[in-house]
Chain A
């Protein structure tokens, strides 16, 4: 009997620590595991007994690249419990800071973490020597994202200006207008980036995913909407736990999520795009068409193009918000705690990020549940690897390993977030 084991003990260019192991016996694929050994951090437990106003800043520390997703999930849940209505300028500023996070996160993943896979470089630094213009442009785009975060959030990493009810301090119209020149440059540059990544060579690989994301009647989803899927989910976010459930698997410190009664769900840019194409801005639609994308996309390798389209959208949305902005009378709404359970589900760059809290009359957190997008995508990643390896068993180990790592990075997995979650191992017998 011959065994081939392909393993990566520590998957590079993803946030956090995980590994991959693939086992092939007598030419047949027998096991695929995405192992997550990032130590669990017990955020849900440490939130118990803390004040409801602390949840946004505590949970934002789950992730250095998508803190806004956690800030937003927490504030929306608490505001649901306390029946707070958020005025338009505050709602718009929340969308704007989310645009900043999408820009930062997407462009970093596209240019620094994922393009090297397509072009055959071990990392972005090696790639930068041969493709300096792409890297320089990406870095400048990222810096504009940082600028939005700094202005609205107080600093570029781990913003500290978001609170239940609104913001501690809101910017003046003039301050927002100072972003305009950069945003316009960023819009053009992001259109260029879409062109660049659409010219990459893509694996011929598609899968019939269950795409889950938010859907809002009037806009491309960031903060609000119903939870929907292309296989029949259509519920308010308060019914999330009825449709997406979690289980413990031995090889992962992150709980595995799946769609109740069906199997893996897939969240993130491909899901959002395929379920909300009609809500993209005309320019983003045009960029997608020019890049050769249809209105839905089931090839995970093409997620890099979809991220680019979402960066275009984020710049356009940011420009619209700056233009519409009227300074609010007060930076936040007053919030009085009361006993209850609330839900927050927003579109992090990697997909929906779910929060549920129960607080008592004094505002003390009794119970918390947080599900990161990567926790949901773990099963989809394993399934992709399974299908991909099965179709490519004749590839030599080294090549197979390279392609598998690329397949994992299609999801821009954030392992730190999910551990509540890469090394790659392929074993052939």
Chain B
């Protein structure tokens, strides 16, 4: 589970806050924190992983809105993650990973619509108010991943590699 963002930029820190909270709740979860720089992000996963990314977004909808994107259902829109060091950030990292065949076998991205990205370490009221909901939704995704993993593992035990 990868929290992306900057905790010193108000709502931009929401990904990190969620990651840390989930890390406290679950010992079986591998938590990473990322700035969103594409090359470093891609190095955090392998094709055998189940990955959830949480990042703040500024897409123009109402603050606090939770967007859930499944990388296997559609390409990730680059305008969603408005961050650019020559435009190689979350969306480009996911699409590049897809092109290189290194996409994790399950990749879900949560984008939390931010209100304020100003200097400061507090989340806005709108984003704070959906924090629990995000954590619940991500937890549900993670247990679905875990269930799928168990099924896959038991499958592979039944059919050992040649």
Contact = CB atoms under 8 A, between A and B. Distances in A.
Contacts of A155: 35
B45 to A, nearest CB: 13
B133 interface: no
Interface in B91-132: 92, 95-96, 99-101
Nearest to A126: B99
Contact of A64 (B40, B84, B99, B101): B84
10 contacts: A14-B86, A108-B85, A125-B92, A125-B95, A132-B100, A139-B96, A143-B39, A143-B40, A146-B40, A157-B36
A240 to B, nearest CB: 27
A156 B35 contact: yes
A157 B8 CA distance: 14
B85 A135 contact: no
Nearest to B92: A125
B37 interface: yes
A128 interface: yes
B14 interface: no
B88 interface: yes
Contacts of A345: none
Contact of B84 (A15, A113, A139): A15
Interface string A133-161: 00110011011001000000001110000
Interface in A245-269: none
A40 B159 CA distance: 62
Contacts of B74: none
A136 to B, nearest CB: 6
Given A65-B85, A132-B100, A146-B39, 7 more contacts: A108-B85, A108-B86, A128-B99, A129-B99, A142-B39, A143-B39, A156-B37
A146 B37 contact: yes
A197 interface: no
A124 interface: yes
A65 B101 contact: no
A109 interface: yes
A156 B40 contact: yes
A109 B37 contact: no
A109 B86 contact: yes
B43 interface: yes
B96 A143 contact: no
B84 to A, nearest CB: 6
A365 interface: no
A13 interface: yes
B37 A112 contact: no
Contact of B96 (A13, A128, A146, A157): A128
Contact of B86 (A112, A139, A146): A112
Interface residues of A, number: 25
A78 B95 CA distance: 43
B18 interface: no
Contacts of B95: 125
A128 to B, nearest CB: 4
Interface string A91-108: 000000000000000001
A426 to B, nearest CB: 24
Interface string A14-46: 110000000000000000000000000000000
A196 B67 CA distance: 41
B42 to A, nearest CB: 6
A129 B100 CA distance: 6
B39 A113 contact: no
A142 B40 CA distance: 8
Give the interface centre of B83, B92, B100, B101 by most chain A CB atoms within 10 Å.
B100
Interface string B16-39: 000000000000000000011111
A108 B88 contact: yes
Q: Nearest 5 A-B pairs (CB), nearest first?
A: A128-B99, A64-B85, A142-B39, A143-B39, A139-B39
A113 B85 CA distance: 12
A83 B35 CA distance: 36
A15 to B, nearest CB: 5
B84 A112 contact: no
A112 B101 contact: no
Contacts of A136: 100
B74 to A, nearest CB: 15
Contacts of A64: 83-86
Nearest to A124: B96
Contacts of A157: 35-37, 85
Nearest to A155: B35
Nearest to A139: B39
A109 B85 CA distance: 11
Contacts of A124: 96
B114 to A, nearest CB: 18
Nearest to A156: B37
Contacts of B87: 13, 15
Interface centre among B43, B85, B96 (most CB of A within 10 A): B85
Most chain B CB inside 10 Å of its own CB: which residue of A124, A135, A139: A139
B17 to A, nearest CB: 17
A140 B42 CA distance: 10
